[in-house]
Amino acid sequence: MNEQVTFKLNGKDVSVPKGWTVMEAARRENVSIPHFCWHPGLKIAGVCRFCMVEVVGRPKLEIACNLPVTEGLEINTKTDVVKDAHKWGLEFHLINHPLDCPICDQAGECKLQDYYMEVGKYKSQMTRPKILKPKALDVGSELVLDTERCILCSRCVRFEEEVTKTNALGIFSRGDRSIIGTYNEEKLKHNYQENQVDICPVGAFTSKRFRFKQRVWFLTQKESICPGCSTGCRISVHAKPQERRYFRIKPVLDKEVNGYWMCDIGRRTFEHHNLENRLDSASLVKRGNGELAALAEQLEASSPRDIALLVSAQYLNEEYQSFFEFFVKELGVQKVYQWREPTEKRDDFDNILLRGDRNANTQGLMGTLETFGLSRNARNEFDDCLKSKSKVVIALCPEITSGFPSLGTHLTQLAEMPFVSLWTCLIEATEIKGLENLIPMKSFFEKKGTTLNYNKVERKLESPYPSAVFGALDVSEAVSALRSEMRKMLGKD
Ligand code: SF4
Ligand code: SF4
Ligand code: FES
């Protein structure tokens, strides 16, 4: 066990591992110490001077973020002198901050607003005009920068130094002219830009994709797993379920998987969930059980030798289990092919989070195949399926198209096979002539179950959104509806 150090926090004895700071100890004890520059995923900078605490026996207040806990230390965070320091510290931070709140995208999740209510509530003594700085700068494909709102906490600079190692941002000029910017007006080019929006405590960095789309207090948040690659970052999905619309994705701390971050590719994985991108939302009536009945007829009329399963690695463990249970164990189908992007570089890794395997559950699929005696390595077997001369193909379509440039071609090729039942949530499928049997599926954020990431770390999807498409199914539901159709056909129900 780590060596523990005991100190007094607001009069209470607290023990923490040696090496912890007062800020870390206070957070664990749910004692709020206002702060701007400290972030648990970045190195300590100690520049905002906002996290002042009283150290009993020492003449001046000290910053909690850079103060190691030592045996017998006595810290007060709520005394009048500390409260005063926070109040006037905040006034200094607001001296040149514009009164943008009504039109600022950060409203509702701005630390300046929150701390004003928590520790501020003063009447400003500032009489001189505010220093004006450039606003709405295009600093990257995903980002807009408002330098007037910046409080120079340097989190964004440290992120570029420590996480992406791109060193793309700096603080230029001196005193109240200091300004955040990129070198030589170059734009940020990496795949982790929107983390800047998350870590910026104010509305200086905003997301091009999300800004002005929605007030954050109208959004519901549910935890899920990013379906963008085999890392499987833990995320929260922000949506308006009553409008069946998804708006944004943010990372959730998972020390074992993604830490505090996620990539921009992953943040885009909400777009295909929205109603306008979903399979046949307009004419759904003709889908669903009607299509399943047609598939049931085909299955009934075919020998298991003429049936093939084509399976992508973007579904959940429980879905694979029921899929193979039914088709392999009950119906005796033996032809099972993996459906992967032929150009994928599966072992690629960007040394931060993103992996070349752009399927969320390759390991889960491999594990389930093994349980059904269909053990094999991950590889694309799409062409083998085409050549298999199967009369009926049941295909679990990938839903993340960004990592699947061949999907359109594959769908066109599939349409030439005698009978393909495509289980998908993508509207693109309706554009392919000849693909008639389409089963509308729930998307990733609308299902309960588990995935295994590249490292076989199991993660649960526990709080699904109601499907944006009324009547859409997950694989287990589709299998059980299909089973009933077949039983009906055989007169067993
Ligand atoms: S832009 Fe935001 S994160 Fe960067 S220094 Fe300014 S306030 Fe801090
Ligand atoms: S690294 Fe992979 S799992 Fe993580 S956010 Fe990016 S795409 Fe999603
Ligand atoms: S949070 Fe401690 S100095 Fe900024």
Residue 258, in any domain of the structure: no
pLDDT at 351: 98
- Shared domain for 370 and 484, answered yes or no, is yes
Nearest-atom index, ligand 3, CA of 23: 2
Gap between the Cα atoms of 273 and 279, Å rounded: 10
CA 61 – ligand 3 centroid, Å: 12
pLDDT at 489: 81
CATH number at residue 178: 3.30.70.20
Residue 67, in any domain of the structure: yes
Last residue of a domain, which of 196, 214, 232? 214
Dihedral sign of CA atoms 358, 361, 363, 366 in order: negative
* Pocket lined around ligand 2, Cβ cut-off 6 Å: 226, 228-229, 231-233, 258, 262-263, 265-266, 353-354
Gap between the Cα atoms of 156 and 153, Å rounded: 8
- Shared domain for 388 and 479, answered yes or no, is yes
Q: Which ligand sits closest to the CA of 112?
A: 1
Nearest-atom index, ligand 1, CA of 199: 3
Residue having the nearest C-alpha atom to atom 8 of ligand 1: 153
CATH number at residue 356: 3.40.50.740
CA 199 – ligand 1 centroid, Å: 8
Residue 167, in any domain of the structure: yes
- Shared domain for 482 and 405, answered yes or no, is yes
- Shared domain for 455 and 344, answered yes or no, is yes
CA 389 – ligand 2 centroid, Å: 37
Pocket test for ligand 3, best of 22, 36, 199 (most atoms within 8 A of CB): 36
Label residue 360 exposed, middle or buried (CB < 10 Å: 0-12, 13-18, 19+). Answer: buried
Gap between the Cα atoms of 24 and 30, Å rounded: 10
- Shared domain for 13 and 69, answered yes or no, is yes
- Shared domain for 154 and 31, answered yes or no, is no
Residue 227, in any domain of the structure: no
- Shared domain for 13 and 138, answered yes or no, is no
Pocket test for ligand 2, best of 142, 225, 264, 265 (most atoms within 8 A of CB): 265
CA 140 – ligand 1 centroid, Å: 15
Give the pairing type, strands 4-9 and 74-76. parallel
- Shared domain for 50 and 174, answered yes or no, is no
Residue 234, in any domain of the structure: no
CATH number at residue 15: 3.10.20.740
What is the secondary structure of 124-191 as a DSSP string?
----SPPPP---SEE-BSSEEE-TTT-----HHHHHHHHTS----EEEESSGGG-EEEEGGGPPB-ST
Q: Extract the tokens encoding 86.
A: 């926070």
Gap between the Cα atoms of 466 and 472, Å rounded: 10
Gap between the Cα atoms of 115 and 50, Å rounded: 10
Residue 152, in any domain of the structure: yes
Pocket test for ligand 2, best of 163, 164, 226 (most atoms within 8 A of CB): 226
- Shared domain for 355 and 465, answered yes or no, is yes
CA 65 – ligand 3 centroid, Å: 6
- Shared domain for 291 and 399, answered yes or no, is yes
Last residue of a domain, which of 214, 236, 259? 214
**CA separation (Å) from 390 to 167, 317, 374, 483?**
54, 26, 18, 21
Label residue 277 exposed, middle or buried (CB < 10 Å: 0-12, 13-18, 19+). Answer: middle
pLDDT at 405: 96
Gap between the Cα atoms of 262 and 22, Å rounded: 28
Residue 157, in any domain of the structure: yes
Q: Cβ–Cβ contacts within 10 Å for residue 87, how many?
A: 16
Gap between the Cα atoms of 43 and 292, Å rounded: 56
For the chain, 493 residues long, the average pLDDT of each consecutive 10-residue run is 91 98 98 98 98 98 98 97 96 91 93 91 85 96 97 98 98 95 95 98 97 96 98 98 94 98 97 85 56 93 97 98 98 97 97 98 97 91 97 97 94 97 92 90 96 98 92 95 89 69
CA 319 – ligand 2 centroid, Å: 22
CA 171 – ligand 2 centroid, Å: 29
- Shared domain for 87 and 166, answered yes or no, is no
Nearest-atom index, ligand 3, CA of 33: 1
pLDDT at 287: 55
Last residue of a domain, which of 214, 245, 265? 214
Helix or strand (DSSP H, E) at 476: helix 475-489
Mark 428-455 as b/e (b = at least 16 C-beta within 10 Å): bbeebeebebbbbbbbbbbbebebbbbe
* Pocket lined around ligand 1, Cβ cut-off 6 Å: 150-156, 180, 199-202, 204-205
pLDDT at 288: 55
Residue having the nearest C-alpha atom to atom 4 of ligand 1: 156
pLDDT at 492: 66
Q: Which domain holds residue 437?
A: 278-489
pLDDT at 493: 63
Angular region, 473: left φ>0, alpha ψ -120 to 50, beta rest: beta
Residue 259, in any domain of the structure: no
Q: Which ligand sits closest to the CA of 198?
A: 1
- Shared domain for 368 and 282, answered yes or no, is yes
Domains: count for the chain: 3
pLDDT in tens, 26-60: 999 999 999 999 999 999 999 999 999 999 999 99
Nearest-atom index, ligand 1, CA of 36: 8
